[in-house]
Amino acid sequence: MATDLSYRRSSSRFSPRDWDLALGLAVVGLLGIGTVLVYAATRDWFASNGLDPQYYLKRHVINILIGALLAWTVTLVDYRLIRAYTPVLWGVGVLGLLLVLIPGIGVTVNGARAWIGLPGGFQIQPAELAKITIIVGMALILSELHGNQKHPQSEDVLKALAVAAIPVFLIVLQPDLGTILIVSASVVTIIAVSGAQIRWVFGLITLAIISGYVAVQTGMVSDYQVKRLESFIDPSADPMLSGYQLRQARITIGSGGLTGTGLFDGPQTNGRFVPEQHTDFIFTVAGEQLGFLGSGLIILLYLVILLRAFAIAKRTNDMFGRLVCIGVIAWFAFQTFENIGMTMGLMPMTGVPLPFLSYGGSSMFACLIGIGLLQNVHLRSAR
């Protein structure tokens, strides 16, 4: 009890200079740019149809405020105390994934039963929050070394994989291919950094490739997602749907040139040529209206976040905190690369939002909680 109380007291004694300001400012920058882009992607169409042009703007700001509150709450309690409640957090995450599969509770969008409907037209996607519980759960197991152990043993790795496998299996049932890929990237990276034998990393990569092939061949992956994969290989394979979306995304990004067409002046965006532009394809708005320079600034801000997260992970001497940071880094890096890559045809379309920019409450909450975890580790490591 004395230890718990000392953790709680320490949380209120940090001054502004104790925080990682570069990390915080980069996140604030992306949130500001994202808010403008969401407004630019939706304003004209809503206004032309007699609807509230600020509808998505207001909801996006609300999502940011809730996410910021969650991130702040995460930083208040020492992450080493959060570690003690990891089994409870993991259980809540699994419960949320089970609820979406229950008829009448789960909501199906684009062929995936991945959302739970809430009052006021809001929805929550438990798979987004499950990313955090998987990362924290694996970090807990792989950081608990007993006796003279210097690295996790095979049984430790198997336990950690079990922690990830149950939520992943439930996500497969939805199905949500994009989230599965992101979680897989975090799982492999955490195991690699934990000091486990390298054969586990190669084995998991091989298993992922085989599992993906089997899933496609046996029909576990929906036709909608298969067509997205086919369009990545051949954009003309599905010219009216995913192939059309990819072509329009490329045209929209390329039309911005060096400096862009200017905010709210993009003909492609205002003409609604790119489906889901305020969510999964928000980067196309940046490419058209902010141009190469504006898009480059966005990528630079992501790079700042990743570099600061690496610095935090490197500085801490606590293995649990380090593995949590590494899991968050892998998650942010892969999801950012996947989202931006798919808008330009460099990666298959998987329907993942762009962290801190895309409209979507669950993704925003999860990403800001991830930032809260990074700041939490930074604050306690710097003392």
Neighbour tally for 5: CB within 10 Å: 9
**Which of the pair, 8 or 85, is modelled with greater confidence?**
85
Q: What is the pTM of this model?
A: 0.89
Q: What is the pLDDT of residues 153-200, one digit of tens each?
A: 888 899 999 999 999 999 988 878 888 889 999 999 999 999 888 888
Query: What strands lie across the sheet with 112-117, from one edge to the other?
Result: 106-109, 112-117, 123-124
- Distance from C-alpha of 70 to C-alpha of 212, rounded to nearest angstrom: 34
Q: In the chain, where are the structural domains located?
A: 35-381
Q: Cα dihedral sign for 33, 39, 42, 44? A: negative
DSSP string for 28-73: HHHHHHHHHHHHHHHHHHHHHTTS-TTHHHHHHHHHHHHHHHHHHH
pLDDT band at 9 (very low <50, low <70, confident <90, very high): very low
Site of tokens 């702040």? 72
Chain segment 127-151, per-residue pLDDT in tens? 999 999 999 999 999 988 765 677 7
Give the residue with greater pLDDT, 232 vs 291: 291
Task: Report which of 203, 121, 99, 206 is spatially closest to residue 157, judged by C-alpha positions.
Answer: 203
Query: How far apart (Å, rounded) are the C-alpha atoms in residues 69 and 346?
Result: 35
* pLDDT score of 98: 92
Residue-level pLDDT at 165 = 92
Distance set, CA 123 to CA 28, 111, 117, 283, 371 (Å): 24, 16, 5, 23, 22
- The shares of helix, strand and coil residues in the chain, as percent rounded to the nearest 5, are 70, 5, 25
Q: Specify the pLDDT at position 4.
A: 43
Measure the CA dihedral 237/242/248/252, to 10°: -130
The span from the CA of 341 to the CA of 348, in Å, is 8
Distance CA 300, CA 33 (A): 13
Tens-digit pLDDT profile for residues 204-219 = 888 878 876 676 666 6
Given a cut of 70, is residue 239 above it in pLDDT?
A: no
Portion of the chain with pLDDT greater than 90, in percent:
48
What pLDDT score does 19 carry? 85
Check whether 232 has a pLDDT greater than 70.
Answer: no
Residue 21 has pLDDT above 80, yes or no: yes
Euclidean distance between CA atoms 300 and 310, whole angstroms:
15
Q: Summarize pLDDT for 257-297 with one digit per residue, the tens.
A: 999 998 888 888 888 888 888 898 999 999 999 999 999 99
